[in-house]
């Protein structure tokens, strides 16, 4: 008995690594996805390591050089406080990327947990979870985010911790779609023969869930998760632009674009608000290309063509 | 069919009750109200006003009053406009509606044409370009696109007005007025089209590709039909079927206003009013409008399901 479990586990591991190898091979062939991945790595390195090489890091205020256009010293110019826009762009990127990733992890976690519970236990648990998801989906996302932002603004969270609030908000709005998807997957998986086998073998629920069901939805989670990072970054930028997300002095790509709300900055100092917008665009398009490539690589049947 | 219909309608009730609870209690969670935001009021006057607006009642009582009024078609009384919410909605909803309708028509028109051509020339240069543009459209933050358009077309080139609905201080009539209005509409509509055409094109392209690979299309080709007949008469119609559902889903968007785009372009529609009401804490307006959209969403979902069953008899409704 002992030996057979070891053996099956070994086989499972072997098969798994083989699957991921195949996925990887297919992904590497996809030029669009690799371009996306390359760009993402570049943006990550740029934002995470970039500020260490900048002489203007940590929000150095320079009263003499305010509102300078791009020059050799300041590649993207300076803002109203004389801070270097390029450095700020990198620091903002750290925040925006963190929010995107954090919100994705949280909403994938909540969505998977609730989706699995609903699909696996059905009955009243299913009813409660799915009706809640229905209600959440009935209310338009943006107003919902605005309301939550207003409530949470009153908690007087210090500016540097606002990003965690934004993550929580985005995951509250984001989990319902994923939960539906996971639930439908679980519902179809539990009708498969191997699940009937686990039933007749008398396996415990925990084992059925973690060993037999969850591994089968991992590919789905990877694809949806990747794509949702892009969505989260976009939502964060909208919230921050309207002053309801990450607030200054902490920079995020969204609140940097806020500079466009001043007429003079908008008309005469485009270096203040165009670079962050371009950064959002490049990041999100790269994430979407990679996510799309991953979907094609993981399951050619799902291929969007 | 009939029992399905009844079941679906009954099913709406808990969803709407849930939505009304969520909406009401979310708004009652926001600290501060309309009376509190006015610094010019004395404490007595504040108490008086709170009593007048019913803000001194416990939350539960206020909820039931609100829901009771909803059933009589009364969405509440806007504090900021000092008018019933239904009247305020009636005043602003149409300017949002026309922008939404114009962009909806253009978006669908473009998406169908581009999607079908892209699918019939799979992997061509046209197809790759379209695919790339679709990704680009889905990655652009709406407010940034709006700002770029204003900067480029209104500020730098001066082709179109930067915002608003009519030129301030003008009193055009007839054709002049219409021309002025149209000029102001072009940029917001363009932004909305650019934002939504991508996803829809992708949708039609995928549908079309799926249909083109089916046996009946091969049969049609084997019969020696012209390619144009095969594509437009046989494949196209089938690819359009799921679009009926999608069209019904677009219904709420016609009335909900584009919050971000209207805000950026200073368009006096319901989206901009929503943001304004948000700043001054005009809860009755916010709640009434959000509930209105929730009801529309639920109804359009129902219409989508039913229409699909009518259009495609292969789908059995249980």
Burial of B305 (0-12, 13-18, 19+ CB in 10 A): middle
Dihedral, A19, A20, A21, A26 alpha carbons, nearest 10:
90
Residues ≥6 apart with Cβ < 8 Å to B296: B251, B252, B255, B256
Burial of B194 (0-12, 13-18, 19+ CB in 10 A): buried
Q: Which residues of A touch B138 (CB under 8 A)?
A: 284-285, 288
Q: Among A214-228, B156-170, B283-297, where is mean pLDDT lowest?
A: B156-170
Pick from A140, A258, A295 the residue to mutate for testing the B interface (most B CBs within 10 Å).
A140
Kindly state the tokens that stand for B227. Answer: 């390619």
Kindly state the tokens that stand for B66. Answer: 């609100």
User: What does the mean pLDDT of chain A come to?
Assistant: 80
Candidates 1.10.490.10, 1.10.1580.10, 1.20.1730.10, 1.10.3720.10; CATH matching A26-56+70-304: 1.10.3720.10
Provide the pLDDT for residue A110. 92
Q: Where are the alpha helices (DSSP H) in chain A?
A: 2-29, 31-48, 85-121, 123-138, 141-153, 162-189, 193-200, 205-207, 214-241, 253-257, 263-268, 274-298
Whether residue A262 is predicted with pLDDT greater than 80 in this model: the reply is no
CA dist A177 and A104 (Å) reads 13
With cut-offs at 50, 70 and 90, classify the pLDDT of residue B157: confident
SS (H, E, C) B3-40: HHHHHHHHHHHHHHHHHHHHHHHHHHHCCCCCCCCCCC
Helix (H) or strand (E) holding B92: helix B85-120
CA dist A59 and A160 (Å) reads 13
Provide the pLDDT for residue A252. 85
Provide the pLDDT for residue A304. 44
Residues ≥6 apart with Cβ < 8 Å to B41: B35, B49
Whether residue B54 is predicted with pLDDT greater than 80 in this model: the reply is no
With cut-offs at 50, 70 and 90, classify the pLDDT of residue B318: very low
Q: What is the pLDDT of residues A170-221, one digit of tens each?
A: 888 888 888 888 888 888 888 888 888 888 888 888 888 888 888 888 888 8
10 Å Cβ neighbour count for A11?
A: 10
Tell me which residue in B16, B30, B206 faces A304 most closely, judged by beta carbons.
B206
Q: How far is A108 from chain B (nearest CA, A)?
A: 21
Kindly state the tokens that stand for A120. Answer: 């696996």
Kindly state the tokens that stand for B220. Answer: 């049609």
CATH code at B152? 1.10.3720.10
Contact map slice: B 192-251 vs A, CB within 8 A: 202, 206, 209
Contact B139 A284 (CB under 8 A): yes
Whether residue A71 is predicted with pLDDT greater than 50 in this model: the reply is yes
Whether residue B75 is predicted with pLDDT greater than 90 in this model: the reply is no
CA A95 to chain centre: 12
Provide the pLDDT for residue A108. 92
CA dist B238 and A94 (Å) reads 47
End-to-end Cα, chain B, rounded Å: 8
> Does some domain include residue B136?
yes
> Does some domain include residue B104?
yes
CA dist B134 and A267 (Å) reads 29
Distances (CA, A) of A67 to A250, A259, B260: 19, 12, 28
CA dist B162 and B119 (Å) reads 37
Contact B143 A238 (CB under 8 A): yes
Distances (CA, A) of B116 to A292, B156, B165, B212: 21, 36, 35, 10
**Angle at CA A239, nearest 5°, toward B131 and A281?**
25
Contact A257 B202 (CB under 8 A): no
Whether residue B169 is predicted with pLDDT greater than 70 in this model: the reply is no
Burial profile B109-121: b = 16 or more Cβ within 10 angstroms, e = fewer = ebbbebbbbbbbe
Q: What is the pLDDT of residues B249-260, one digit of tens each?
A: 788 878 877 788
Provide the pLDDT for residue A12. 56
Q: How far is B210 from chain A (nearest CA, A)?
A: 9
Provide the pLDDT for residue B275. 82
Residues ≥6 apart with Cβ < 8 Å to B27: A147, B283, B286, B287
Provide the pLDDT for residue A158. 73
> Does some domain include residue B202?
yes
Distances (CA, A) of B35 to B26, B60, B86: 18, 20, 21
Q: Among A9-13, A20-24, A251-255, where is mean pLDDT lowest?
A: A9-13
CA dist B290 and B294 (Å) reads 6
Helix (H) or strand (E) holding A301: none
> Does some domain include residue B133?
yes
Residue B17: closest C-alpha in chain A: A135
How many cross-chain Cβ pairs, A to B, lie less than 8 Å apart?
Answer: 112
What is the percent of chain B with per-residue pLDDT over 70, rounded to a whole number?
89
With CA atoms as reference, report the closest residue to A169 among A252, A281, A65, A244.
A244
CA dist B31 and B22 (Å) reads 16
Provide the pLDDT for residue B234. 82
10 Å Cβ neighbour count for A168?
A: 15
Whether residue B105 is predicted with pLDDT greater than 80 in this model: the reply is yes
**Angle at CA B135, nearest 5°, toward A140 and A103?**
50
Whether residue B313 is predicted with pLDDT greater than 80 in this model: the reply is no
10 Å Cβ neighbour count for A172?
A: 17
Provide the pLDDT for residue A274. 84
Q: Which domain holds residue B210?
A: 87-248+255-269
Q: How far is B151 from chain A (nearest CA, A)?
A: 7
> Does some domain include residue B100?
yes
Contact B141 A144 (CB under 8 A): no
Does residue B67 or residue A229 have the better pLDDT?
Answer: A229
CA dist B107 and B113 (Å) reads 10
Domain boundaries, chain A: 26-56+70-304
> Does some domain include residue B77?
no
Burial of A136 (0-12, 13-18, 19+ CB in 10 A): buried
**What mean pLDDT do residues B195-221 have?**
84
Whether residue A7 is predicted with pLDDT greater than 70 in this model: the reply is no
Does residue B85 or residue A116 have the better pLDDT?
Answer: A116
CA dist B292 and A246 (Å) reads 30
With cut-offs at 50, 70 and 90, classify the pLDDT of residue A102: very high
Tell me which residue in A131, A154, A289 faces B18 most closely, judged by beta carbons.
A131
Q: Are A276 and A257 in contact (CB under 8 A)?
A: yes
Provide the pLDDT for residue A1. 43
Kindly state the tokens that stand for A31. Answer: 């030029």
Phi, psi of B218 (to 5 degrees): -60, -40
CA dist B56 and A92 (Å) reads 43
End-to-end Cα, chain A, rounded Å: 46
- Total length of chain B: 318
Q: Which residues of B touch A289 (CB under 8 A)?
A: 135
Burial of B150 (0-12, 13-18, 19+ CB in 10 A): buried
Cis, peptide link before residue A249, omega less than 30° from 0:
yes
Q: Which residues of A touch B277 (CB under 8 A)?
A: none
A301 and chain B in contact, CB less than 8 A: no
This complex has an ipTM of: 0.78
Residue B265: closest C-alpha in chain A: A261
Domain count, chain B: 1
> Does some domain include residue B143?
yes
């Amino acid at each position: 008995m002992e030996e057979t479990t070891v053996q099956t586990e070994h086989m499972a591991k072997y098969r798994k690594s083989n699957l991921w190898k195949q996925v990887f091979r297919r992904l590497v062939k996809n030029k669009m996805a690799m371009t996306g991945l390359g760009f993402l790595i570049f943006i990550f390195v740029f934002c995470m390591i970039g500020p260490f090489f900048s002489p203007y890091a940590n929000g150095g205020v320079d009263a003499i050089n305010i509102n300078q256009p791009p020059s050799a010293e300041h590649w993207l110019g300076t803002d109203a406080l004389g801070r270097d826009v390029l450095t700020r762009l990198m620091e903002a990127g750290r925040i925006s990327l963190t929010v995107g990733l954090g919100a994705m992890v949280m909403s994938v976690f909540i969505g998977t947990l609730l989706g699995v519970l609903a699909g696996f236990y059905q009955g009243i648990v299913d009813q409660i979870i799915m009706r809640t998801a229905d209600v959440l989906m009935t209310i338009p996302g943006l107003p919902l985010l605005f309301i939550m932002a207003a409530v949470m603004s009153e908690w007087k969270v210090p500016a540097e911790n606002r990003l965690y609030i934004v993550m929580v908000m985005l995951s509250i709005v984001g989990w319902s779609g994923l939960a539906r998807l996971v639930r439908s997957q679980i519902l179809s998986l539990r009708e498969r023969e191997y699940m009937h086998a686990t039933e007749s073998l008398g396996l415990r629920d925990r084992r059925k869930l973690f060993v037999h069901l969850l591994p089968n939805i991992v590919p789905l989670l990877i694809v949806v998760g990747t794509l949702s990072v892009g969505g989260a970054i976009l939502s964060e930028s909208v919230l921050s632009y309207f002053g309801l997300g990450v607030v200054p002095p902490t920079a995020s790509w969204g609140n940097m674009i806020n500079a466009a709300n001043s007429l003079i900055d908008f008309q005469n100092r485009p270096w203040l608000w165009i670079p962050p917008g371009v950064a959002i665009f490049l990041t999100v398009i790269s994430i979407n290309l990679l996510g799309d490539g991953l979907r094609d690589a993981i399951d050619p049947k799902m291929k969007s063509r | 069919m009939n029992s399905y219909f009844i079941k679906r309608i009954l099913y709406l009730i808990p969803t709407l009750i849930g939505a009304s609870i969520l909406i009401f209690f979310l708004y009652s969670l926001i600290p501060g109200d309309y009376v509190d935001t006015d610094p010019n009021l004395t404490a007595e006057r504040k108490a008086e006003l709170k009593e007048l607006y019913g803000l001194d009642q416990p939350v539960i009582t206020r909820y039931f009053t609100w829901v009771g009024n909803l059933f009589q078609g009364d969405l509440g009384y806007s504090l900021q406009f000092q008018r019933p919410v239904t009247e305020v909605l009636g005043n602003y909803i149409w300017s949002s509606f026309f922008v939404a309708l114009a962009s909806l028509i253009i978006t669908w028109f473009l998406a169908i044409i581009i999607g079908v051509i892209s699918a019939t020339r799979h992997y061509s240069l046209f197809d790759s370009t379209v695919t790339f543009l679709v990704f680009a459209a889905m990655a652009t933050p709406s407010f940034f696109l709006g700002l770029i358009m204003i900067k480029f077309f209104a500020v730098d080139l001066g082709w179109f007005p930067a915002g608003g609905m009519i030129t301030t201080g003008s009193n055009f009539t007839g054709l002049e007025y219409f021309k002025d209005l149209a000029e102001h509409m072009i940029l917001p509509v363009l932004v909305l089209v650019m934002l939504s055409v991508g996803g829809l094109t992708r949708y039609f392209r995928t549908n079309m590709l799926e249909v083109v690979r089916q046996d009946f299309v091969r049969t049609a080709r084997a019969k020696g039909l012209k390619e144009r007949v095969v594509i437009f008469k046989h494949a196209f119609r089938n690819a359009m079927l799921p679009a009926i559902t999608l069209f019904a889903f677009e219904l709420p968007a016609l009335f909900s206003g584009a919050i971000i785009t209207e805000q950026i372009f200073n368009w006096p529609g319901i989206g901009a009013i929503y943001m304004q009401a948000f700043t001054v804490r005009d809860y009755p307006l916010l709640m009434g409008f959000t509930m209105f959209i929730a009801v529309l969403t639920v109804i359009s979902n129902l219409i989508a399901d039913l229409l699909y069953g009518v259009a495609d008899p292969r789908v059995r409704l249980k």
